[in-house]
Amino acid sequence: MEEAIAKANTLIEAMGWIRQFRGTTTVIKLGGSVLEDELALMHILLDVIFMESVGMRPVLVHGGGKAINRALAESGIEPNFKRGRRVTDDATLKVVEKVLAGDLNVHLTQEIERFGGRAMNLSFLTTNVLFGQKLESPEDEDLGFVGEVTRVDRNVIEGLTYTDQVPVMPSMCEGPDGQHYNVNADTAAMAVAQALGAEKLVFLSDVNGVRRDKDDPDTIIHSLSSDEARELIRSGVIESGMIPKVEACLETLGRGVKKVHIIDGRLRHSLLLEIYTTSGVGTEIHL
């Protein structure tokens, strides 16, 4: 009986958050280890279906770097990176298109529907919603067909969310001449969140959030203002690979998104625990 009562208390706790976020948009960036872990991915997609079922409007943007690397290896193509970005020549672009806009995008959509939700895959193979241009490198290094999103067709995306469907889009954009570009998944998700005026942007990561000690998961900081985050960068608490992610969060907050979350996507039901509980399980960054 006590276990049943505890479950009821959890639902009561969630009720306030469900009311608060009903009708709001949350953009979720999928990538990294989550896409490689079948069980973790299942729990994330079940969370997404739950969010939609209680009135939120989840939108998925996904990368797929590890799957791309495997496909390149099968094609005998050596991956090439400069400053963390994949150099995308003609041959690499064909692989990226097949993996991101084809295989992964369709797979995620089908999995959502298999678990009982409704979803629509959005890409240049179906209905394209991300438009952009070639990314100009500040060091004049040619990265090939690497782009940046300059326009998001919010009408198509919102039209789907208003009819209880989950839009699923790969991190690729189409140029004015029809050329396709590979886009960093974090920046693609940021562009979508900004265009939609999202309540939340959630980065599913391989760490549980911002930590005071990067090697100790128990030192996670659950809530940070933008000023506090900048101070932690200045003081060296936030360092190395977490710096660009937090700086991206701060940039997004300055462009209309209310809150940005960094959570461990490998944790079972981490999305629900972050959004519908008081304490959360990751780091929330706000203005």
Neighbours of 157 (CB within 10 A): 25
| Separation between Cα atoms, residue 234 and residue 29, nearest integer Å | 27
The residues that bridge with 170 in the sheet, in sequence order, are 62
| Separation between Cα atoms, residue 111 and residue 269, nearest integer Å | 16
Spell out the alpha helix ranges (H) of 133-254: 154-161, 185-196, 226-234, 242-253
> 88 and 144 in contact (C-beta within 8 Å)?
yes
Q: Which residue has the tokens 């400053």?
A: 83
Nearest Cα residue to 119 out of 129, 130, 109, 111: 109
Neighbours of 198 (CB within 10 A): 26
> 158 and 196 in contact (C-beta within 8 Å)?
yes
86 annotated to a ligand binding site: yes
Nearest Cα residue to 25 out of 212, 165, 196, 189: 196
64 annotated to a ligand binding site: yes
182 annotated to a ligand binding site: yes
User: What are the binding residues?
Assistant: 64-65, 86, 182
User: What are the binding residues for substrate?
Assistant: 64-65, 86, 182
